Each structure stands twice: as C-alpha cells, then as structure tokens.
C-alpha cells in the first residue's frame, strides 16, 4: 500500500473521493494501492480510523471480493504488538471496506528513498519488531505473503506491519491474479517464485531481504527488474546470493533467513530474538532509535496527522 503525498503524508480528498462510507466520515487520503484507497476517518467517539475501500472495478470481480474478504478475516483474527487492529468491516457492501485503528507514520520504502539506509542497530530493530509481528501472524494460522518495505510503517513508537491484502490461511489454497502469482517479485521466496505454496518460512525469507535493503540499501539479488530478480531468487538453491559484503552481524542473519531450504530458515520468533541480541538493545526501546533527520520526518508526519484528526 503506497501512502500518498510527498514521503507518505495525508492529502485532501479529491473531487472523485466519497465523503462518507457506511456512516464513517472521510477526512483525508492516507494511501492507495492496487486493490483500493485508504482514507482517514473516525469513530463516533472521535477515535481516528484508517478505512480501506476496494476499487469499484475490483468490487465487480468475485475473485477480488474474495481476496478482500480473506484480508478482513485474516486481519481481524491476528493481534499483537506491531500489528494494526481491525475494528470494523463490510465485505458485502457495494464497495467493500475495512476499518483499522489509525497508526500515523511513514512507509519504510519512502524513508529509505529519501534518507538512505538506516544505521545497523535501527535496521535490526525494524527487522526484529516485524519478526515479532510475523510470529503473531503465523501463530494465528496465517501467512502474510507480501512482506516488503512499503508494507512497513515507521512511527516514533516503532515499526508496524501493514496490509493483509494477500494474506491467507495456512490451510487454504493459493489465490492468484489472472495469469500469475500474487505477490511482489523482488520480495518473494524461492518457493513462492517457483509457483509453490508459500508458508511462514516464505515470510521470513522476505523479511531477510527487507533487512538487507534497510541496513545497506542493497538488495541481495541486485537491482534488476522485478521479474529478473524473482528469477534469480528462484535459482537460490544453485546460485545463492553473495553476502560477503554485508556487515556482521547482519551477514549471519541473511545467511539464515535467505536459506534456499525453507526448513533451514529460523522461525519468526527466533529471528526476533536474534535481531534483539545483535542490535544490542531491547526491541521495544525506541528512545532515540532513529537518526535525527528520519526521526524529524516521522514526528512531522505524526503531528500533521494529529492536527487533521483533532480538527
């Protein structure tokens, strides 16, 4: 889910945006993605919400409706720190929607594009917190299947894993878009890129890729096109990525998470513990955890959101 605006800020509603959905007033645009648009709204008690509305063209497609319903079910069943709770939804509406608690912040990919890689301890903290979120996802019986920087929201109180748009239960069949596999090619696991069913270990592989990019700005499989990178990932068993240039302790984490065999990768909880040990500070210690320019940008985004919510 791409947040709108310069670096991920709120934007005013446009002429084509609705002003209300099922009794929820819409106040600004938070972001937009392939499935729909996310708006800032609020409850009757004035609690801010992020309300995701599926696009009209997708609302007419039974497969997209099913995907959206699965997203709502997955997000409603999964709870834990670093996960944004779902508060309400209607997947049978003319335009299905999901309302989640509003978590202000900036998407990780936007921060990396603007400020470059994070210091290694902060990158390990991001990875460890997202691993804890994934542990909760997996414990609930789900696989996220789209772990990537744009689905990590960075706030002053830590990172948050967002967008369950293609999550699925571990015991359901794979949902695909017409003619291909659902997911982001640059952040797929080998088994996912080969068309096999992704499992919890697939999320861990994707999180390893995210860790590398967050800490160094370099993707272990290069900067080629999405499909070109996916082809390299698919060949990991015979042509593993060269990790020698990555600093320790990140290198050891990458060797573990990017193993070709899913059975050799650490579980999400094990990865979280490893990141905490390597970062040299508790994962939940967010005092001064971000570089000053990044912290200022995040705080400014949160303040803007607070002003809009309090109007």
Number of residues written out for the chain: 311
52 labeled part of a ligand binding site:
yes
Report the alpha-carbon distance of residue 206 to residue 199 in Å, rounded.
11
203 given a catalytic annotation: no
- Phi, psi angles (nearest 5°) of residue 54: -70, 145
- What count of Cα atoms within 13 Å lies in the side-chain half-sphere of residue 90? 10
SS in 3 state form for the chain?
CEECCCCCCCECCCCCCCCEECCEECCEEEEECCCEEEEEEECCCCCEEEEEEECHHHHCCHHHHHHHHHHHHHHHHCCCCCECCEEEEECCCCCCEEEEECCCCEEHHHHHHHHCCCCHHHHHHHHHHHHHHHHHHHHCCEECCCCCHHHEEEECCEEEECCCCCCEECCCCCCCCCCCCCCCHHHCCHHHHCCCCCCHHHHHHHHHHHHHHHHHCCCCCCCCCHHHHHHHHHCCCCCCCCCCCCCCCHHHHHHHHCCCCHHHCCCHHHHHHHHHHHHCCCCCCCCCCCCHHHHHHHHHHHHHHHHHHHC
Catalytic residue among 6, 61, 146, 261: 146
- The annotated binding site is made up of 52
Binding residues for ATP: 52
State the catalytic residues. 146
């Amino acid at each position: 889910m791409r947040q709108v605006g310069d670096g991920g800020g709120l934007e005013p509603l446009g002429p084509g945006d609705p002003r209300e959905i099922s009794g929820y007033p819409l106040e600004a645009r938070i972001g937009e993605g392939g499935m729909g648009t996310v708006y800032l709204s609020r409850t009757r008690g004035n609690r801010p919400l992020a309300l995701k509305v599926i696009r009209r063209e997708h609302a007419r497609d039974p497969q997209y409706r099913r995907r959206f319903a699965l997203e709502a079910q997955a997000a409603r069943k999964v709870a834990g720190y670093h996960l944004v709770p779902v508060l309400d939804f209607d997947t049978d509406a003319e335009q299905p929607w999901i309302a989640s608690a509003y978590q202000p912040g900036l998407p990780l990919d936007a921060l990396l594009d603007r400020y470059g890689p994070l210091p290694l301890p902060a990158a390990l903290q991001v990875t460890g917190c997202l691993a804890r979120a994934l542990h909760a996802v997996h414990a609930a019986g789900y696989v996220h299947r789209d772990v990537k920087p744009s689905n990590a929201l960075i706030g002053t109180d830590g990172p948050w894993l967002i967008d369950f748009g293609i999550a699925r239960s571990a015991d359901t069949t794979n949902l695909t878009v017409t003619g291909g596999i659902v997911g982001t090619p640059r952040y797929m696991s080998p088994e996912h890129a080969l068309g096999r069913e992704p499992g919890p270990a697939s999320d861990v592989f994707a999180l390893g890729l995210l860790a590398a990019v967050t800490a160094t700005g370099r993707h272990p499989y290069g900067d080629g096109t999405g499909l070109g990178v996916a082809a390299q990932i698919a060949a990991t068993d015979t042509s593993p990525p060269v990790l020698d240039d990555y600093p320790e302790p990140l290198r050891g984490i990458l060797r573990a998470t990017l193993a070709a065999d899913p059975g050799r990768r650490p579980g999400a909880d094990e990865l979280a513990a490893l990141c905490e040990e390597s970062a040299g500070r508790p994962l939940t210690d967010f005092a001064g955890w971000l570089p000053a320019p990044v912290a200022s940008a995040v705080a400014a985004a949160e303040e803007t959101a607070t002003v809009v919510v309090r109007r």
